[in-house]
Amino acid sequence: MNTEASQPFDVYNATLTELEQLLHNWQQPPFRARQLYRQLYVNWIDDLAQATDLPAALRERLAQETRLGSLELVHTQHADAGMTRKALFKLDNGAVVETVLMVYPERATVCISTQAGCAMGCVFCATGTLGLLKNLTSGEIVAQMLWASRELRQINPQISITNLVFMGMGEPFANYDRWWAAVERLHDPQGFNFGARRMTVSTVGLVPGIRRLADAPLPINLAISLHAPNDALRSELMPINTRYPIAELLAATRAYISRTRRRVSFEYVLLNERNDTPELAAELATLLRGSRTQPPLLCHVNLIPWNPFPGTPLNRSIRKRVLAFQQVLIDAGIACTVRVERGVEIAAACGQLAGHTQLKPTAAPASLEIV
Residues near ligand SF4 (CB under 6 A) are 118, 120-122, 125, 127-128, 170-171, 204, 225
Closest CA to 201 of 219, 227, 226: 219
Q: Which of 45/111 has CB closer to ligand SAH? A: 111
Q: For residues 308 and 313, what is the distance between their CA atoms, to the nearest angstrom? A: 10
Contact 59, 325 (CB under 8 A): no
Q: Which of 289/339 has CB closer to ligand SAH? A: 339
- 306 binds, options ligand SF4, ligand SAH, none, Cβ within 5 to 8 A by partner type: ligand SAH
Q: For residues 196 and 180, what is the distance between their CA atoms, to the nearest angstrom? A: 11
Active site residue 111: no
- 304 binds, options ligand SF4, ligand SAH, none, Cβ within 5 to 8 A by partner type: ligand SAH
* The one-letter amino acid at 47: D
Q: Which of 96/304 has CB closer to ligand SAH? A: 304
Active site residue 350: yes
Maximum alpha-carbon separation in the chain: 70
Cβ 352 to ligand SF4 shortest distance, Å:
10
Contact 222, 203 (CB under 8 A): yes
Q: Which of 132/322 has CB closer to ligand SF4? A: 132
- 137 binds, options ligand SF4, ligand SAH, none, Cβ within 5 to 8 A by partner type: none
Q: For residues 311 and 327, what is the distance between their CA atoms, to the nearest angstrom? A: 31
Contact 50, 56 (CB under 8 A): no
- Angle (nearest 5°) at CA 358 between 184 and 91: 40
Interaction site with ligand SAH (CB under 6 A): 124-125, 167, 171, 202-204, 225, 267, 269, 304, 306-307, 309, 350-352
Cβ 335 to ligand SF4 shortest distance, Å:
22
- Which residues are known catalytic residues? 98, 350
